[in-house]
Amino acid sequence: MKIAYLMNTYPLPSTTFIRREIEAIEGLGHRIRRYAVRAWPQALVDPRDRAERAATHYLLTRNLRGLLGAAVREMLGNPRGLARSLGPWLTLARAARNGPVRPVAYLLQAAYLRQRAAAEGIDHIHVHFATNATTVAMLARLMGGPSYSFTAHGPDEFEEPERLGFSDKIAQARFAVAISRYCQDRLIGLARPEDGSKIRVARCGLALEEFAAVRPRWTDTQTLVCVGRLCAAKGQVMIPAAVAALRGRFPDLKVVLVGDGDRRAEIEAACRRHGVADRVILHGWASNAEVRSLVAASRALLLPSFAEGLPVVIMEAFALGRPVISTHVAGIPELLDARCGWLIPPGDVEALTQAMEAALLATPDELTAKGAVGRERVARLHDRRALARTLWRLFEEAGAIRRPAFADERAGASTISSAGLADQV
């Protein structure tokens, strides 16, 4: 059975968990073909991400001629498949309310993906996130392409779910994966009643062998580390006020922000306003190894998010034996509680300050105990090897029921050779 993964933008610093997932499935002896809509335009820091980019085939990036050629071939060689996709495509285009250009691009990408998958013998496509890439996979399926499934993460996907056409995407999919029970409940609420059984929980996984618990030096540091894109949802803009409130009692307090994004200027302004520019360090993006080193050298991970799915960085901190301060949103309480850290309401600067103070005052034994609980939970719930086995079983089940969904799926749908496709990229 040949499986492909399809992503929107891939790889980028925040998709390490997808790379680990693919690696784990390949570790079972299965080759995974990588597709993505576009390449990340910025420089990649991690060498493994750079290698992953070289292994990924892009539908949109530097592929205008390929897309136009695919559209012509689909109209001439697979008119019934193309016609079958137009009704659902129009429904999704109207719901998305983002103008005509993107929906047309999705249709072109779907034609190209169908033909590419046929040329490479792909049986099933798995997509991460229920956004445009899942739209492309669904349209390709309606044209007569391979079956598909997708993993939903949240929280952005659930902000305006009607724009993403969840019910249609779930209905056409072989199955849908939720990364947490919270996410599963949301998906079931968005699916048609007869499709609820398609939604399975498969929690994101870590390469635990890369996260040997590091012996802490709790008494030597008052440093907290926050890892994530600098954006409104992550809540980093609240950190300077909390640091200002604590600096008198903790003269060596520092918070290192690892990542970058569109709220960098706002966070820098907050640091200046609170007089803590020397204590809140904006590190920028870092490689996976650097992130592990920074978290391992810290007292705790800090993630005061307003909206999340279930952050992989919390799993990483626990795998390193470090407690976590984060918020009571989405799937986070399924992993984090008082036994392994501090759970606070989102947007509450006073609660954030109190949790940071508690972490700074905690004894080495208390911190060690919290870190040990977190490590045990990650090993039990988020081992990527278990995730890979679960996903492959679902792929096999999808393959076992694979059959022509449409009368003309086996006849009349044009394909071209892999060499012919490669010539057009």
Measure the CA–CA gap between 341 and 355, rounded to whole angstroms. Answer: 9
Q: Return the closest-CA partner of residue 304 out of 242, 373, 381, 377.
A: 242
Q: What is the pLDDT of residue 416?
A: 41
Using one digit for the tens of pLDDT, what is the confidence trace for 55-83? Answer: 999 999 999 999 999 999 999 999 999 99
Q: What is the pLDDT of residue 345?
A: 97
Q: What is the pLDDT of residue 127?
A: 98
Q: What contacts 111, CB < 8 A, 6 or more positions away? A: 67, 70, 71, 73, 74, 82, 140, 143
State residue 62 phi and psi, 5-degree precision: 50, 40
Measure the CA–CA gap between 3 and 111, rounded to whole angstroms. Answer: 18
Q: What is the pLDDT of residue 288?
A: 86
Mean pLDDT calculated for residue range 85-112: 91
Q: What is the pLDDT of residue 421?
A: 41
Confidence of residue 412 (pLDDT cuts 50, 70, 90): very low
Measure the CA–CA gap between 340 and 319, rounded to whole angstroms. Answer: 12
Using one digit for the tens of pLDDT, what is the confidence trace for 105-160? Answer: 999 999 999 999 999 999 999 999 999 999 999 999 999 999 999 999 988 899 88
Q: Return the closest-CA partner of residue 167 out of 138, 142, 187.
A: 187
- Report the percentage of the chain scoring pLDDT > 70: 92
What's the whole-number average pLDDT of the chain? 91
Task: Look at residue 422 and tell me whether its pLDDT is greater than 70.
Answer: no
Q: What is the pLDDT of residue 58?
A: 98
Amino acid letter, residue 281:
I
Give the single-character DSSP code of 331: T
Confidence of residue 218 (pLDDT cuts 50, 70, 90): low
Q: Is the peptide bond before 11 cis (omega within 30 degrees of 0)?
A: yes
Q: What is the pLDDT of residue 270?
A: 97
Using one digit for the tens of pLDDT, what is the confidence trace for 356-401? Answer: 999 999 999 999 999 999 999 999 999 999 999 999 999 999 886 5
Delineate the domains of the chain, giving CATH numbers in brackets: 3-205+383-422 (3.40.50.2000), 208-381 (3.40.50.2000)
Q: Return the closest-CA partner of residue 300 out of 256, 351, 245, 266.
A: 256
Task: Look at residue 330 and tell me whether its pLDDT is greater than 80.
Answer: yes
Task: Look at residue 188 and tell me whether its pLDDT is greater than 80.
Answer: yes
Tokens of 280: 């809140």
Q: What is the pLDDT of residue 423?
A: 34
Q: Return the closest-CA partner of residue 172 out of 84, 80, 75, 58.
A: 84
Measure the CA–CA gap between 226 and 394, rounded to whole angstroms. Answer: 35
Contact call for residues 49 and 19 (beta carbons, < 8 A): yes
Q: What is the pLDDT of residue 185?
A: 95
Contact call for residues 298 and 214 (beta carbons, < 8 A): no
Task: Look at residue 232 and tell me whether its pLDDT is greater than 50.
Answer: yes
Tokens of 76: 């001439």
Task: List residues bridging with 257 in a β-sheet.
Answer: 226, 282
Coil, helix or strand at residue 60: coil
Measure the CA–CA gap between 109 and 89, rounded to whole angstroms. Answer: 12
Predicted TM-score (pTM) of this structure: 0.85
Question: What would the 3-class secondary structure string for 10-41 be?
Answer: CCCHHHHHHHHHHHHHHHCCCCEEEEEEECCC
Using one digit for the tens of pLDDT, what is the confidence trace for 189-215? Answer: 999 999 999 999 999 999 988 887 667
Coil, helix or strand at residue 84: helix
Handedness of CA 177, 182, 186, 189 (dihedral sign): positive
Region class of 4: left (phi > 0), else alpha (psi between -120 and 50), else beta:
beta
Using one digit for the tens of pLDDT, what is the confidence trace for 163-175? Answer: 999 999 999 999 9
Mean pLDDT calculated for residue range 334-361: 97
